Chain A
Amino acid sequence: MSVQIKTVDLTPKRQTFAHVARRLGGDKPATRYQEATLDLQATENFHYKPLWEPQFWQYDTRKTAVVMADWYKPLDPRQYYYGSYNIARANMQSAGERNFTFVEERGLLATISDAERARVTSLLLPVRHLHWGSNMNMAEICQRGYGTAVTAPCIFSAGDQLGMAQIVSRIGLALDGQTGACLAAAKQGWMSNPAWQGVRQMIEDTLVQRDWFELFTAQVLGVNEVVLKLVYGALEQAFPESGLALAMLTGFMADWAADETRWSDAVLKTVAAESEANKALISGWAERWIARAVTAAEPLSAALLGDHGAAARAAGDAARGHGRKLGLAL
């Protein structure tokens, strides 16, 4: 028996949207990332100047001093759109959730000495506030930045920073049987403990930064590369009784840092490579904010590791080396 398969003619008229095809250099199949990102933000014929900032349009390339001929050049190598981002984070988080169960079931944080608990409270828990400030910065870059290629990953990053602030907060709640006492003490430390004041001052200073690409540089190379790396890299050494458990519970942060850096590196590298002027601006910002971060983190490093700030300075050197690999003059 022969079966004749009749097929309806379903040859597509086009493979993708015209604006995407122009960027791909022809009508060919595009990825979900490309279709959900390219040229999504409005660019012209705006109706009204913002009441809150009438010198600019709501989307305006002049909100940073760096200049790009095309803000869709700094693409996300992870190719995140909303769906793929959330699925990636849900997977990362479910691993973290198992670690929380493991640590809680074995009472790994409940059984530590009062001295260790006090140390974790004063030297780790306040970092949740740094994540919170970082969350505000990434939301700011999302609202103030130009072009979906850069701004969409920023709201993802803002969500990540909030998520990490919440992981640290859960550690705080696990330390004292869910009473909130450790978190309250940690907040006092964030406000007044000399070990944290440099960090707090630095993050407050970023919160008034109006050039969004300078803010991006400060957040990525200063806060993420120096301060967060220092804190999460010091856990096992700084907290002898609980360091291993803490490292497990903050596994999300290590996964996140690797993921985030792939993207933020691509952005910095592409924007700096656009012109000598961009490179000079970003290098200057990087120099300044890495130096700020090192000064801010020295007392924290000393308190965590008893190293007179050596780890903070080493993190600063590493950040400068990192920046140089991205093409910055540091």
Chain B
Amino acid sequence: MMTQLASITLMRNDDARPIIDAIMADNPDVCVLNMPGAVKLDCDGRLRVNRASVEERMGRAWSPQEIQLVLVSMAGNLEEDDDQFTLSWHK
């Protein structure tokens, strides 16, 4: 079986930076691909964005739905609630 990458691509701007930082802190195996204007973050099987981690870096309340403002692309099944935004493949 080939690896199944759960992946998210975000715009490279000031609004996205705390989210990118939070992902990199909370998903230790993350692999980063830098592109002009965008950043692609890949994890094996599962990638999670935690509201609390983003808020800590952003210094304000943040709803996972706000990720839409900077989201470019993603791969994986999405599960979203008040506290997190997770992309994963079934194992």
Touch between chains A and B, by CB atoms below 8 Å: no
Could you list which residues of chain A lie within 8 angstroms of chain B, going by C-beta atoms?
A: none
